Structure formats: C-alpha cells, structure tokens
Amino acid sequence: MSDQGGAAGEEHRTNPEIDPEGAEMESLASAEHIGHLQSEKERFEAEAAAFKDKYLRAFAEAENIRRLADREIADAKVYGIASFARDVLNVADDLARALAAVDQETKDTAEGAVKGLIDGLELTERSLLKGLEKHGIRKVEPVGEKFDPNLHQAMFEVPDPSVASGTVVQVVQSGYVIGDRVLRPALVGVARGGPKPAAVSEAEGGSAA
C-alpha cells in the first residue's frame, strides 16, 4: 500500500498533467541554467577575444622592435665608421694635393727615384680609395654635373658662357658619400653666364606653350 502511494507521489511530482506548477518551475530552472551557461559562454568568448587582441598587439610591437633593431644594426655596420672615415679623408686629401703639385710633364719624364716616388703615391691613393669603397665610402667626382646642394657646397662662381649655368666646373676639395648619406660635401666652383639648364628651359618652354 505504501509502495503504491510512493509511486503515485513520484508520478504526481514529475507528471506535468498531475502537477502543472511543478513542471513550470522545473522549466524555469532549466531556462535559468541555460541562460547562465549562455552568459558564461559569452564571458569566456569576450575574454578569449581580449586575450587574442593583447597577443596580436604584443606580437606587432615585438615585430616592430625587431625591425628597428635590425635597421639599427644595419646602420651601425654602414655608418659606424663615419667618424674614423672622416679622419682617413685627410690622408686622401694630402695624397691628392701631393700628386696635384706635380705637373703632367714631370710625371711623364720622371725617372729613377722621382718616378718611383710618384708611382708610389699614385698606387697608395688608388689603394686607399679602393679600401674606402670596400666599406661603402665613395668619392664624389662632380665636374660637369649639375650643382646639387645635397652633395656639393658652392665656394665661388666661374663666368663661363660655354656651359650651362649651375654646372660644376671646378672641384676645390673632393666630396665623399657613405652608403646613401653624405660623408663630406664636395667644395666646388659653379659656372654662371651660360645657357640655362636643359630641364629649366624645357619647363619654361612648356609653360609658355
């Protein structure tokens, strides 16, 4: 008898037709549980997205630092000797002045010790320039080129109607570049009084047209 009563009570608790209020409460509890799980899922997804964003930002920052470090290392390799190179240029200037002091006729007719001395100076100058080029340092030879304030420093003007104004016609001191930077600008004399540079003339002709 008691077993039948217990079974009936259990059926009464679980059967929505017998106990509709109990079934509704179970349904509400289940909905609350699902809502809680959904809320937890959204929270975890938001945290995962935040962690991913932080990771991507940190990765990008680390990559930028690596690139900057690589660039600084490359610059140090190319430009780290700039100060030393400027001192070496003084030696190159002395050699150039010593050779310039000997006229071409003397060079051509020199014999014995004099010829050996001249040949030695020329060989030393070539070796020095070759060594500088090995380290990315090049001599600027601007005679005949258009004056470039980025590479040249004008010391004086030379009246010469036979060449375009602004053309470098004389070099007082050679210039040098290291990599893509100016190590020392060339000291030059610039022509004036001649025709305007072709590029300027064409631009003016185009404007006039």
Stated pTM of the model: 0.57
Of residues 40 and 22, more confidently modeled = 40
Q: What is the mean pLDDT of residues 124-143?
A: 90
Q: Which of 113, 135, 157 is the last residue of a domain?
A: 135
CATH number of the structural domain spanning residue 198? 2.30.22.10
Percent of the chain with pLDDT over 90: 25
Produce one character per residue of 113-136: b if its CB has 16 or more CB atoms within 10 Å, e if not: eeeeebeebeeebeebbeebeeeb
Please tell me what DSSP assigns to residue 145: S
For the stretch 42-79, pLDDT in tens is 888 888 888 888 888 888 888 888 888 888 787 777 67
Percent of the chain with pLDDT over 70: 79
Q: Same structural domain for residues 194 and 162?
A: yes
Q: What is the mean pLDDT of residues 184-208?
A: 69
Q: Which of 115, 135, 155 is the last residue of a domain?
A: 135
Q: Please check whether residue 126 is in contact with residue 92, taking contact to mean a CB–CB distance below 8 angstroms.
A: no
Which pLDDT band holds residue 206 (cuts at 50, 70, 90)? very low
